[in-house]
Amino acid sequence: MKTTIIDVNQNNISEYPATCFLNPKNEGYQIKLNWLKKRFSEGFKIKVLYDEKDKKIHGFIEYVPGEYAWRSVEAKNYMFIHCIWINPNSYKNKGNGSALIKGCINDAKGKCGIAVVTSDGPFMASKDIFLKNDFKIVEEDGKHQLLVKPLKKGPLPKFKDYRKQLQRYNGLHIVYSNQCPWVARFISELDKNLVNKLKIKVTELKTAKQAQDAPSIYSVFNLIYNSKLLADHYISNTRFLNIIDKELK
C-alpha cells in the first residue's frame, strides 16, 4: 500500500474520478461530473487518496468555501467539508482520513476555520474522525452534529431553520441536488409513470443558496409528505417504494 494525495480539478477529474466510487459509466456519475464542473469556479476542491500500486482511488474529501456549502448551514468565512470517504476497510485506521482532513486545513488558511456536518445515521461521515482531528461540536440537531475546527476568531457556523422550510411542502415532494451522485442516479432511475400517478413534485436544488434553504440539514435528498420529512438521505428504490406504500395507505 503506497498512497498519495492528489488534488483534483477540472483538468484531471477524468483521470481521477472522485465521485463516491460510483461506476464512471453510470448516469449518476455523469450527472455529478457535470455538477462538479460548474462548482470549481466557486472554490470547490477535491483531494483523492490514490494508491500507486493498484492505480486506484481509495478515498476522497470534498470541500468548498462556506458561502457555497450545499447543506442547511450558515458558514461564511469557513471552509466547509461536504464529504469524506475511505474504501475499502483495509485503508481505514491508517491515518488516511486524517491526511485528507489536514489537506483541507492547509487550504483553509486565512479563514476562521473548517466546518462539517456529521451524522449518527447512514450515508454521512460520523463525528469520530473529526473529533480525532481537534474539531469541536458547536451545535446538535437530532442525529446530526455541526463541528468546527477554529483557526482564528470569528462567528461560529450554525444550522439554518430547515423546519420552517419544511412547512412549505404540502403533498408529496422529492427535493434533491446533484451534489451526491447516488442521489443523481436515484433521480435518473425514478419511474416517471409512478411520479405522475402519485403526483410527486420533484424539485432540483440548483444553487448553494437553495441548498442552504433546503427542508433538511443534509439538503441533498428530501422525501416529504405534507410537511413531514420521510427520508433525509439517499435511499434505494426499494426503500423508496416501501415508504410510499406505508405513508399513502
- Asked if pLDDT for residue 21 goes beyond 90, the answer is no
pLDDT in tens, 233-243: 999 999 999 99
- Asked if pLDDT for residue 123 goes beyond 70, the answer is yes
Whole-angstrom distance between the N-terminal and C-terminal Cα of the chain? 52
CA distances for 233 relative to 130, 236, 245, angstroms: 21, 10, 18
pLDDT in tens, 124-151: 889 999 999 999 999 999 999 999 999 9
pLDDT reported for residue 61: 96
- Asked if pLDDT for residue 1 goes beyond 80, the answer is no
Q: Which fold has domain 3-159?
A: Aminopeptidase (3.40.630)
Decide: 7 and 29 in contact? Cβ < 8 Å.
no
Rounded to whole angstroms, the Cα distance separating 189 from 191 reads 6
pLDDT reported for residue 30: 87
Domain-wise residue ranges, the chain = 3-159, 162-247
| Percent residues over pLDDT 90 in the chain | 78
pLDDT reported for residue 222: 97
- Going by CATH, does the domain composed of 162-247 fall within 3.40.30.10? yes
pLDDT in tens, 184-226: 989 999 999 999 999 999 999 999 999 999 999 999 999 999 9
pLDDT reported for residue 19: 65
Handedness of CA 9, 12, 14, 18 (dihedral sign): negative
pLDDT in tens, 76-112: 999 999 999 998 989 999 999 999 999 999 999 999 9
Residue owning grid cell 476497510: 89
pLDDT reported for residue 17: 81
- Asked if pLDDT for residue 2 goes beyond 90, the answer is no
Residue owning grid cell 464542473: 37
Which residues pair with residue 61 across a beta bridge? 47, 84
Decide: 129 and 187 in contact? Cβ < 8 Å.
no
Q: Is 198 helix (H, G, I), strand (E, B) or coil?
A: helix
